[in-house]
Amino acid sequence: MVEQIAVGGRSADEILKKHTGAVHIANRLTLLQRKCSNVLLHNAFEDLLTEEKHQIRIADLCDALGISTNNYETIKDAIRALTGTLIEWNIFGRDRKNEWTVTSILASARFKDGICEYTYSPHLRELLYNPNIFARLNLQVQRGFGSKHAITLWEFLVSELCVRRADKTVYSDFMLIDQFRELMGLDDGEYAQFRDLNRYVIKAAIAEVNAVSDIEAEVEYKREGRKVVALRFIARRKEAFQLPLALGSGEEDLSEGLVSITTPEKRAELVQALVQRQASPDLAETLVRDYPPALIEFQIEHYDYLRENGKEPQSGGWWKGALKENWQPPRGFKSRAERRAEQMHAQLVKQARRAFERREYEDAIAFAESSLKLRTSQEAQQLLTEAKKALVSAERQKAIDAYRATLSDDELIELEAEAEQRIQQKGGLYLDGFRRDGTRSIFFGLVIDEILVERLQRMMTQDK
């Protein structure tokens, strides 16, 4: 179901009502496949029950996904996978009106004459069209994601906010680690150690959700002893989040592009934007009909840059050449996507620095790595290097402290005696410090740690 919802007093954005059973799925979908599935469902939604076959222009589908219109093979591979991938529906049992279901996402698909025609199974059509509980997913926000784990987590958290009807903050139920792995579509051997799962999936996905989406997320862990056995997420909507602005507003934004699907509303908006920039109504209608929206939006940014720098074209005829020959802007121009990447990078570096200062080194690593995916910078690379070193040092000290806690009083006395003997052998500053401060000497503590590390290394060698 498509709703027109006004946001911040600006033009409405397109919202997909997606059944939570289709969000809570066990699957192996890639990022592109998941995005493609959502766009196809959005395109077909109103006719799900009345039409067996649905169509979308391949160029519009590519535009919605933010990929080149020449890359048809990539789209074919994604849709081929959707027809062959089984999803396990409603894995958390949240929808009590519908039972557990397993099905393929698409029943069939074919490409012909620039059109993608596709179908859903009858049972899935009914489930998708009548969601008694659903998540409102913004397809504009979806475009910003760069990893399958992040977009999956985002869909899950949006569904939690919608189902619980929470305007501000919501706490998900605790889920077992195996349930979370199932939701993320992880194989048994993939990120098998929780340390890796936490760093490369949980923390990295949260960092991306917080950077590019309309919500903020945190994670809490449930432990049995020292082992993490379950987790839950805390989500809240961003009060200051801005969706893409109307063309020609002159304001900055953190989102990429306008509504991606070439709807009548989208075409009318582009026509209006061209008319506001010296194109006649007839010319604007022709240009919007003949050229893809992404190219028109790019040249609108080009036009606005020229105008801001006192070089505004003097006639509407400029548009014919700009679109036909894809004129490139002069040096110094930055597209909306480039500005967005710079702002996201700066935000992630700032989050990495704060996490490092709080000694949350895994979070700092996740934020720094995410920022470097957008662009390279010396500050982000330095933060990443320092956070990795600090994490190794912290984990080393944690292992030392844990081993020391297992020693009896007699073993501790023996340990101190061995440390005194080693200090006598080292001499120099070690011996001077020990003579001055005794067991409170920093050098005494260093030697104690040195001995414990050696013991731990021997134990690990014996285990192998």
State the residue for tokens 């994670």. 219
| CA–CA separation, 402 and 457 (whole Å) | 14
Question: Does 3 or 147 have the greater pLDDT score?
Answer: 147
| Fold of the 2-237 domain | Arc Repressor Mutant, subunit A (1.10.10)
Q: What is the pLDDT of residues 5-43, one digit of tens each?
A: 222 232 334 555 454 444 444 456 788 888 888 889 888
Question: Could you tell me the CA-to-CA distances from 411 to 407, 408, 440, 452 in Å, in that order?
Answer: 6, 5, 19, 12
Q: What is the mean pLDDT of residues 378-384?
A: 89
- pLDDT value, residue 293: 78
Return the amino acid letter for 379: E
- Region 260-282 average pLDDT: 80
Does this model's pTM top 0.85? My answer is: no
Rounded Cα distance, 350 and 342, in Å: 12
Annotated domain spans of the chain:
2-237, 264-333, 407-464
> Does 374 score more than 80 pLDDT?
no
Q: What are the pLDDT digits (tens) for 93-119?
A: 544 444 556 677 899 999 988 899 999
Place 56 in a pLDDT band, splitting at 50, 70 and 90.
Answer: very high
Q: Provide the angle, in degrees to the nearest 10, between the axes of the packed helices 148-163 and 31-44.
A: 40
Question: Rounded to the nearest 5°, which phi and psi values hold at 410?
Answer: -65, -40
Average pLDDT for residues 201-213, to the nearest whole number?
A: 85
Find the range with the poorest average confidence among 11-15, 16-20, 339-343, 382-386.
11-15
Q: What's the average model confidence in pLDDT over 249-275?
A: 57
